[in-house]
A and B are shown apart, each in its own frame.
Chain A
């Protein structure tokens, strides 16, 4: 068991501006063997935060540190890709490759110049396809598999990177609820097995509530609340965040169950405020 004060990824008061401030004073510590969820309305800067944490964007102030206090800004893309894997929002996967070869791309950060994937790399890839239940599609073309399978494939490719940190961006979007549950529970299981530090951005509040050790509520580029799901996911907090009413009740294992009030007076009151 890794001690809780061991830090995998840390954001220290990062600001980011692009035609005006987008992210303000964002601080986060991500530990190994931990699943953290980020919730917030559209345009609140969740995806921008992930890009800052992966070094695709550079903060205008503040810094992102990896374990051992290495600054992300000093590392090459390849060095970052050996430490952080990203599962992007689904969309526009090239269809001409086989599922296996697409997942094999995850080994690329570990290859040296002019070298090729070894039998070991292929085994790692097959293992990732097994974990994501895609092994029987290994030889199919990416264009031939379904949307849910493509999402699992993006996860499989991230797993073949064998990084200690996993960032997932809306990776359950457009999936049926059974697939969402299946995919997130896979991520959680792998996080425990490999002691990863996992950050999930999602709109699915209930799924994050059920699976995350910690959730972060964001709006307008800043963290509003942070803590365990039962502490943070309250009717007041969510009402302020999204501008509509919610009912929250404690379900099994003290997991909050969140219901947005789709019709009703309270909604108009909240959104008028």
Chain B
């Protein structure tokens, strides 16, 4: 029985970060122009030490094309995996994640509405609107969906039934909002159906704008605040009334956690579209190794989600090269069988 300590959390996080660095190096090296990892590393070190410009073509590929993509995949994966771990703990249900609960789909609806409205109003999104508009709309969509799902599910006095109903309501809302999304997109823009189709499955191939900085800050802040609530969520996992008697302000924590998880999800979905299974699989795998204490699980799953999504995205852009798959296809292809395996192995428990 190993005691949880700051040191253990730092050790685990550092180990995972090292794995992430390796995955990043691998991802940087792979693509239509193959660059050996050793060379990528050397170029990266030269770049960091300010000694760049020796191989401008390769450097452009590495640092202007692939590096942003690597960072984006990592950010999106980290956020979704953390949100999944948070929802699973809050709802005491191993099936909960932002995708299943409809939060991701709601966030994409917010994003689509924003794009459609901006386009139809003929506004050129500049300044703070271009920075905050998309993530804000996505967050609004996510939060509104969570509230609706909560309302639709209603209350149940029977133990455990509440979270089941919530998940069912989430699944129904997700498919409902998906239809709205497809309707909105196909009826308003005919231009890029393939791009739209990709984005609805979850896609990281579109170029990002400056809003990525805002999104990164939102994810970092949200993750930090969620971490502060990790012990409260531990106690809520063993029952809300138990948590109350053990000193958790349950109603306040629940509302904050819903909002923060929606924020973190909405922020990244506004770029990537709803990617399935990251929020479901990563917390499960991390929990198998580290146990269910959120104080170590949250930081670990944050980095692990980054690794998982980075590798999935690397596969997405290389397996059918020169064409690309949406990353959501890869996460579902790996995620679904893995999830079935976990479900069978553990008999549906945690």
Contact = CB atoms under 8 A, between A and B. Distances in A.
Interface of A: 54, 56, 76-82, 84-86, 88, 91-98, 100-102, 105-106, 108-109, 111, 113-114, 116-117, 119, 122, 138-139, 143, 161
A98 B1 contact: yes
12 contacts: A56-B241, A76-B249, A77-B248, A81-B245, A81-B247, A96-B349, A105-B235, A105-B238, A113-B228, A116-B4, A117-B3, A119-B3
Contacts of A102: 238
B237 interface: yes
Interface in B237-252: 237-239, 241-242, 244-250
A102 B1 CA distance: 13
A138 B235 CA distance: 19
Contact of A114 (B1, B160, B228, B249): B228
B249 A116 contact: no
A120 to B, nearest CB: 11
A194 B337 CA distance: 54
A138 B248 CA distance: 25
Contacts of B293: 101
A109 B246 contact: yes
B256 to A, nearest CB: 14
Nearest to A92: B159
Interface SS of chain B: helix, strand, loop or mixed?
loop
A88 B246 CA distance: 12
Interface string B1-27: 101111000000000000000000000
Contacts of B241: 56, 88
B235 A108 contact: yes
B235 A82 contact: no
A96 B4 CA distance: 17
Contacts of A113: 228
A120 B67 CA distance: 47
B246 A105 contact: yes
Contacts of B235: 105, 108
Interface residues of B, number: 29
B144 to A, nearest CB: 29
Contacts of B349: 95-96, 143
B317 interface: no
Nearest to B295: A116
B284 interface: no
Contacts of A80: 247
B239 A92 contact: yes
Contact of A106 (B5, B234, B246): B246
B1 A54 contact: no
A109 B5 contact: no
B350 interface: yes
B231 interface: yes
A88 B159 CA distance: 14
A85 B245 CA distance: 7
Contact of A96 (B5, B247, B250, B350): B350
Contacts of A77: 244, 247-250
Nearest to A93: B238
B292 interface: yes
Contact of A92 (B160, B231, B234, B247): B160
Nearest to B244: A56
A95 B292 CA distance: 11
B92 A94 contact: yes
Contacts of B247: 76-82, 108-109
Interface string B276-297: 0000000000000000110100
A84 B160 CA distance: 26
Contacts of A92: 159-160, 239
Given A94-B239, A108-B231, 5 more contacts: A80-B247, A94-B350, A117-B4, A138-B1, A143-B349
Contacts of B239: 92-94
A111 B248 contact: no
Contacts of A111: 231
